[in-house]
Amino acid sequence: MTSSHDPQLLKGVLSALLLRLLAERESYGYEVVQRLHETGFADVLEGTVYPALARLEREGRLATRLVPSPSGPARKYYRLTPDGHEYLRAATDMWNRHVDGVNAVLHRPLPNDPEGTPT
């Protein structure tokens, strides 16, 4: 399990991750965090996830409903709107293009020169 991520890098893709998780299944805030942790993002703070959900809701990519909870206050469940699905598709394509581009550079063979200077 990965225990550490670059916060800046993660912030850029957090929206896409949240949308993907919520596209799989409607969830409430704390459950989303737990699912993120299970996926390997163990160091993601709740304080980062809840505002990100609020932002996606404000942008019209998530819809919410309150569901009574047997163990406490009503939970606010998030699900994707059609805009959310559209954004998720676009974000996934963009991420794949980034990964391909970054991998294309990072996986180039290095020259044998110990100084690393290209010949």
Which residues of the chain form contacts with another protein (CB under 8 A)?
28-30, 33-34, 45-48, 50-52, 54-55, 58, 69, 71-76
> What token pair was written down for 38?
């299970």
Question: In whole angstroms, how close is the CB of 20 to another protein at the nearest point?
Answer: 19
Tell me the closest approach of the beta carbon of residue 83 to another protein, in angstroms.
17
Residue 62 beta carbon to another protein: minimum distance, rounded to whole angstroms: 12
Residue closest to 19 by CA, chosen among 97, 94, 78: 78
Strands 62-69 and 72-80: antiparallel
d(CA 69, CA 74): 5
Q: Cβ of residue 73: shortest distance to another protein, in angstroms?
A: 4
User: Whose Cβ is closer to another protein: residue 1's or residue 104's?
Assistant: 1
The DSSP annotation for 5-44 comes to --HHHHHHHHHHHHHHHHHHS-EEHHHHHHHHHHHT-TT-
Considering the complex, state which of residue 62 and residue 80 has its C-beta at the smaller distance from another protein: 62
Nearest to another protein of 33, 80 (CB atom): 33
